[in-house]
Structure 1
């Protein structure tokens, strides 16, 4: 039996066991009978469809393995009944839960199929999100020193025409000293607050007129340029965005159903913790 079929044995046993407990005779062409219990070709086809990965060729060998699995399953089901496990309260409760869970999952799948998120809604959400996140990016350089007087001396040299990149070679920041203090393009939020505030107050091509103190020392900052970040193309995130919107819509629908439901607290409710109120 393939790995996928083996991995699904427990789930298939649980789900099909529920149907096997009923009184209805199986429909479809009989494939084989096990102690008088019919296994149909329809059941075998369903098993292959459910458990075999899409694109896997279904040949005679695979069908034979699936057939053998169904025979083993039927034998085990009969053995479980003879052992009285189908009457065990814990087993019955588990079987009832699995049955209902399958129905719930089927309903959710059906609801999602009937309530798709249109391309127009995805585009509108994309525009909204990219508009909200369109913070400016800054291309900056800086020179970091330990003492305020050293920073003031650097500013004085800049005022006299010294090149920022040349002075940055003495910076205490090993990551940018070798590149003329260049920090590249970045969101100000990635910097410490004092640095970010000073950077956003600068005009393009200007440097700070006074040293900027942070936990790392004293900075002299030059703003090279600003730009709006380019959002990822819609097509590259469309599927992910659509799925997120579907899940949000489903969550709202479930909340709506719960809100309409009549809830009556039982005696056991007093001992159970109450869910936290949603923010």
Structure 2
């Protein structure tokens, strides 16, 4: 059994995700900015989409299945092309509920009709969609994988006054300037600690066909200790059982209390 140590500080948290073990040739890198909403504690990113370019604010969801946005509000692109039923793009979208039939202006007949999930419970209209980074064909990492490779990293800001980024690609170094002091350049890759990612064979989202695995990222945890004292909890819930119940997942949409105390988590190797 291996153990790893987590300590909470007021600087960005870097999470390196490799959904695929396939070896990739060197590819270019892509970067999206990340900010933190002070009222909801959600992580936000911004995409410029359409023709002409239109800036959209999206919630960053590490386990989100899809990249989707509200096209009914302030979005009209001359280069928009719907995914037609029977097309290659439609065939990789699951679940498919049929073809869309509509008569309203701006609506497109014979397009894929799929289910999207709003994983943010807040009713505040501060975002226009969700950038899902989950293990699906419609997730942002897969859509960018041919161009940048299957790996990505998250640098999450700890407060609304700091900035972060999501990096697509496989850079060999992660350089940061602490407190924006360029005289103190730090390569964070020297301090990386790694733990195995697990896949839940049972989907955890709504309206997903039986037999499809979860799009979320899980880690192996057997116990949690605070200040050297174990937390009393049903430890069997920390692992995924044969029915897909339980497990310890990494989430960006479920905020937790910020803490400067020291945590020790015992994880399976």
Q: Same fold (TM over 0.5)?
A: no
Of Structure 1 and Structure 2, which has the larger fraction of its residues in strand? 2
TM-score by length of 1: 0.21
Of Structure 1 and Structure 2, which has the larger fraction of its residues in helix? 1
TM-score by length of 2: 0.22
Higher RCO (CA-CA < 8 Å; seq separation 6+): 2
